[in-house]
Structures are given as structure tokens and as C-alpha cells.
Amino acid sequence: SVCVLLIVFVAAASASHDAPQDGTHDPTNVTHKKGFPVLLFNYDHVRTPFEISLWILLALLMKLGFHVIPRVSQVVPESCLLIVVGLLVGGFIKAIGEKAPALDDTLFFLYLLPPIILDAGYFLPVRPFTENVGTILVFAVVGTLWNAFFMGGVMYGVCQLEGGQLASVDLLSCLLFGSIVSAVDPVAVLAVFEEIHINELLHILVFGESLLNDAVTVVLYHLFKEFSAVGTVTVLDGVLAVVCFFVVSLGGLLVGAIYGVLGAFTSRFTSHTRVIEPLFVFLYSYMAYLSAEVFHLSGIMSLIACGVTMRPYVEANVSHKSYTTIKYFLKMWSSVSETLIFIFLGVSTVAGPHAWNWTFVVVTVVLCLVSRVMGVIGLTYVINKFRIVKLTKKDQFIVAYGGLRGAIAYSLGFLLPDHPMKTLFLTAIITVVFFTVFVQGMTIRPLVELLAVKKKKETRRSINEEIHTQFLDHLLTGIEGVCGHYGHHHWKDKLNRFNKTYVKRWLIAGERSMEPQLISFYNKMEMRQAMMMVESGSSAKLPGLISMQNIQPKVESRGRTIPKISKGREEEIRRILRSNLQQTKQRLRSYSRHDLFADPFEDMNENLSEMRFRKQRVEMERRVRLRVNEGRSAEERLFCRVFPISA
């Protein structure tokens, strides 16, 4: 009941945005003195923050109610429920004859999308992402290009065959529409895949594709929007489009990396003002996104690069409380933004306007499925030739079925200028979004269980696993060096050496800049375990344990006493160990099967081995002769006993 009353209140408050206010009076018209006002009503003064607070409160209550009722959460994804809530709010606003607020491009791209992308980039699993970055790039770049051109070309053919209203849709407009609905949406993927707990490989493939296809979508969108306005395309325009793609993608990565380094360097000096540490993370990340948008670069890739670059150095500099604040504030901020996006999608659907065409809408939905399936199967056939861990048929099905569309496609359609087919495009885009979120989002969980797809295992990484992981990394790097083939393990090792030798000294304060990787991991694991104990309430038992330990008498150990070492001697021992034992990979000579040089000690070693072999051979022959002679004498003695010879 509280949620229903809040929906009505939000709708009424939003609908009264344009209503005339009669409570204001011109002071010049006052002819008589009034009494001192005890209570005033001035809603205009607080309308904007009050309505924003109401929308956020509605989103939080809907999210709370969704998780309180377990039966609903097991059947319906959270995004579907939020869209339904938006439809109810928009329907109520329209029923009272007022204009519902729409999800415009400014609200979405500048305020709602950045928190979600920052949360995904800051906590991105770097190792699975880098190990599968080739596959992700193929799906993001080649797959998105295939979807855009395939859908655009087929839609143009359908429009020409249909005639009537669709006859006026030209090829460039169809390609523009294909570029809008071709990209996988990261918000929709996060909302669905985090609920079904799919395994890490499939999650990083689909989610990584949704993050990296932003550059392709931006370039294709602006390209076909300009071409549809001009009406002609030249070869030079195509070449410039290819150059623009590299500028948009690499420029976004560069901007994000610069702001990430600045944020890490700033956190080096915040030891005396711990309160403002989380603000630097949020502000530098948001500035990276805005700076990329200023130059029409990829803001999503800029946020990803900023979060990935900043995180390891910031976590080494900030305090535990600041780390906890950054973690939970990002999760809270992204969750609220995601909730508002889906609610506004429902409200915008009711707000309209719409232009329904059965042929255009149905063909769009079918082509989204067909192009996705064909692209995934074709690209996987090529990718599996270069992958060690092949993508199975089940993996291909989940990757194809998990290509969800969302609010980014709607916002790009809303950004279109006065295009004659803008209303038709928006109607088709909303239908595609609803189909992918409701139909595919609701059926992907039972399909995963039916196909017995491997799910994610919630395991804590141990010191033993980290040691073996580092050992395998060094081993594979050494094997690549011996074979003369410099793969990604070799370049990863080079990057780690450069980071440890130069970058850490500038971006990490104190002794932690020289800390070995294993000890750093142990500190992180220890902090994570302490936070989990505090969250679970186990820390309440710690004072009792400590007090009991203080009460119990100390028993002196009868074992060997450990000698006390001075601080200077301890530092000297640590320095010697660090300089001799921690450098597990010294610069050695590289051997290759194509380039082998003579060893000056090789002949000497061969002569020594030959001499040993000859000695062993002579000794073995001597032992064999002795055994043969002993055997013969025994046989002669036995013969004499059986057949005695008279003298």
C-alpha cells in the first residue's frame, strides 16, 4: 500500500510540473495589511529536488519489494518488474491528463549511465578480461558491424517490398536504424546476468562485448546520421569513418588512462585527509567521462580505462574505511541508476508518441535474433581455431541469446533530429527492448538450467592458488622465451616489470610501492576477511577472546629460543633477501631452436661423459666374465659329483 500511495504521489508531483500556480500575489496589488503568515505553501521552491527524491525513493522501494518476495524474483527479472512499475506510473500520469516525463538523452547519458559503467569498470575482473580480450574484440567490432549492415540491408529490402508507408525509407535510414539496434546494452546485460549467476567466461564475453562495442555504435550512429542528412556517400567518407573509429576508441582509452593516473597520483598524498579520498575516485572518473564526451570520444571506454588504471594504486594508498566507502557507494549509485533507467523506460513508453507498423516491428524483432545467432555462430567458428578453451554449442547459444538491448538504443533513437521516421524507429526500438528484456530475460534462467550450463562458483581465492597462478605465469613466460615465441605472457611479464620498477614508485606512497605481489595479495585477502567478519557480526566475539587470552597465564615454551635481532640487522637481512630471492626472473640468455650457438664447455662435457661411459662399460664386462667363470666352475663340480672318474 505504501508503494501504491508513493506511485500516485510521484505521478501527481510530476504531472503538476506544468500546472499554473495561483498562490503568488503581486505585492503592488496589496491594499490592506494582512496578518503575519503562520504557514506558507511554496512548492515551486523545492519542486525539482523534491521530485528527484520521490523518484529515487520509488525506485528503492520497488527494489526492496522485489527482493522481499522471493517467488517473484525467481520467475521475473528485476528489470521486467521495474519497467512494469514505470508503465503504471506513466499510465496514471496520462490518465489524469498530464504529460509524463520522458527519458531524454541528457538525463540518461550524463547522469544515469556513468555510475553503472564506473561500477563495472572499477570492479572489472582484469585477468579473465585480458585473457579473452581477443574474443571480446571480435564480437564487439566485427559482430556489431555484421549486425548493423545485415539488419540495415534486409530492412531496406523489406521496406521496398512492402511499399506504402515504408516505401519512403531509404537505404541510409535503414543502416542508421540498424546501427542503433545492433549493439548489446551493458545495463540490460548486467541486470539479467547477475541474477542467473552464469560462469565467468560467458559473463565476461557478453558483458565485455557490451562495453567495447560502444565505439563502433558511436561511429556508425554519427556516420549514418550525417550521411542520411546529406544523401550521398563517397570512398573518402568510408576511409574517414575507419579513422574515426580508431580515434574514438583509442582516444577514449587514452583520456581514461590519463585521468586514472592523475587519480592514483592524487591518492598518494591523502594520508592526512582520509575523508576526501573517495571523492577523488568519483570526480576523476566522472571528469574522464565528460572529457571524452566533449570531443565525441567513447565515454564508456574512457570510464572503463579510468577505473581499471586507478584501482590497484588507489587501493594501496587509501584507508580501509575509504575502500569500503568507495565499494558500497559505487554499488548503491549504480543500483539506483539502473532502477531509474528501467522505470523511465516504462514511463517513456506510455508517454509516446508511437507509429505502429506490423511489418516493420515484427521484421525488426526477427532480424535481431537471426543476425545475432548467425554472427555468433560464424565468428565462433573462426575464433575456436585460435582458442585453447573452445566455445561449445551451449556457450554459443548463451552468448547469442544473451545479446540484450536496452536504454542506450532508446536514447540514441531519441537523439535523432527531425527525421521523418523517428517515431516509427522509436516504436520499433521499444518493442525490441521489451522483447529482449521480458522474453529473453525471463527465459534465459530456465534455459541455463535445462542445458546444464556451468554456473559461477562463489569461492575465495587462497594464498596457495595465488602462488600456483604466479608460478604458472612465470613458467609460461619462460617457455615462450625458450621457444623464441613472444606471446601475451611475455608482454604481460614486461608490463609487470615496468609497473613494479617505475610506475609503483610514483603512484604508491610509502613502503607498499616495493611490496612483493604475493604479500600485497595477502594484505588484500586479510582485509577482505576482516570486512566479512565485521559484516557477519563475528567481530563481537573478538574482545571476549582477547580478554580470555589476557587472563590466562602465559606458558613459556620449552623449545628453541628465537634470538632477538636489532632493527638495523633485520632491515639488512630483508634487503639481502629482497635483492636475491624476490627476483625470480633474471635476464638470461634466450635459447631458440632456430638460433643455437656453441657452448665453450660443451666439448669438455662430452669428453668427460665419454670417459665415464667407457669406464662403466669395462667394469660391467669384467663383472660379467667373473659371473660366467663362477657358473662354469660350479657346473664342473656338479658333473664330477654325479659322474665320478676313477683314478
What pLDDT, in 10s, does the model give residues 634-644? Answer: 555 555 555 55
pLDDT at 329 over 50: yes
**CA 497 to CA 500: how far, in whole Å?**
5
More confident residue, 35 or 99: 99
Confidence band, pLDDT 50/70/90 cuts, at residue 630: low
Q: Are 206 and 400 in contact (CB under 8 A)?
A: no
Would you call 410 exposed, middle or buried from its count of C-beta atoms within 10 A (0-12, 13-18, 19+)?
A: buried
Q: What nine digits make up the cell of 250? A: 583509442
**CA 181 to CA 185: how far, in whole Å?**
9
Q: What percent of the chain has pLDDT over 90?
A: 13
pLDDT at 472 over 60: yes
**CA 518 to CA 101: how far, in whole Å?**
53
pLDDT at 546 over 60: no
Q: What nine digits make up the cell of 344? A: 523511465
pLDDT at residue 3, as a whole number: 56
Residue 301: partners with Cβ closer than 8 Å, 6 or more residues away: 211, 212, 214, 215, 249, 252, 253, 256, 292
pLDDT at residue 4, as a whole number: 53
Lowest mean pLDDT among 424-428, 437-441, 625-629: 625-629
More confident residue, 539 or 413: 413
Lowest mean pLDDT among 354-358, 518-522, 572-576, 585-589: 585-589
**CA 565 to CA 568: how far, in whole Å?**
8
More confident residue, 201 or 37: 201
3-state secondary structure at position 493: helix
**Under the phi-then-psi rule, with left for phi > 0, alpha for psi from -120 to 50, and beta for the rest, what region is 142?**
alpha
pLDDT at residue 315, as a whole number: 87
Q: What nine digits make up the cell of 625? A: 666374465
pLDDT at 453 over 60: yes
Q: Are 243 and 171 in contact (CB under 8 A)?
A: no
More confident residue, 215 or 584: 215
- Tell me the residue length of the chain: 647
More confident residue, 133 or 30: 133
**Mean of pLDDT over the chain:** 78
Strand partners, 455: 198
Residue for cell digits 548493423? 148
pLDDT at residue 536, as a whole number: 62
pLDDT at 71 over 80: no
Would you call 179 exposed, middle or buried from its count of C-beta atoms within 10 A (0-12, 13-18, 19+)?
A: buried
Averaged pLDDT for residues 427-444:
88
More confident residue, 378 or 554: 378
pLDDT at 100 over 50: yes
H runs (alpha helix) in 499-537: 504-507, 517-536
Count H helices, E strands: the chain?
Answer: 29, 0
**CA 292 to CA 488: how far, in whole Å?**
29
Q: Are 201 and 396 in contact (CB under 8 A)?
A: no
3-state secondary structure at position 198: strand
Residue 123: partners with Cβ closer than 8 Å, 6 or more residues away: 307, 311, 327, 330
Confidence band, pLDDT 50/70/90 cuts, at residue 283: very high
Averaged pLDDT for residues 343-369:
85
pLDDT at 262 over 90: yes
Averaged pLDDT for residues 574-591:
55
For the chain, what percentages of helix, strand and coil (3-state, to nearest 5) are there? 75, 0, 25
Confidence band, pLDDT 50/70/90 cuts, at residue 376: very high
Averaged pLDDT for residues 551-564:
48
pLDDT at 587 over 90: no
Confidence band, pLDDT 50/70/90 cuts, at residue 33: low
Quick: pLDDT tens for 159-177. Answer: 888 766 677 788 888 888 8
Residue 460: partners with Cβ closer than 8 Å, 6 or more residues away: 525, 528
pLDDT at 473 over 90: no
pLDDT at residue 163, as a whole number: 65
**CA 194 to CA 441: how far, in whole Å?**
11
pLDDT at 5 over 80: no
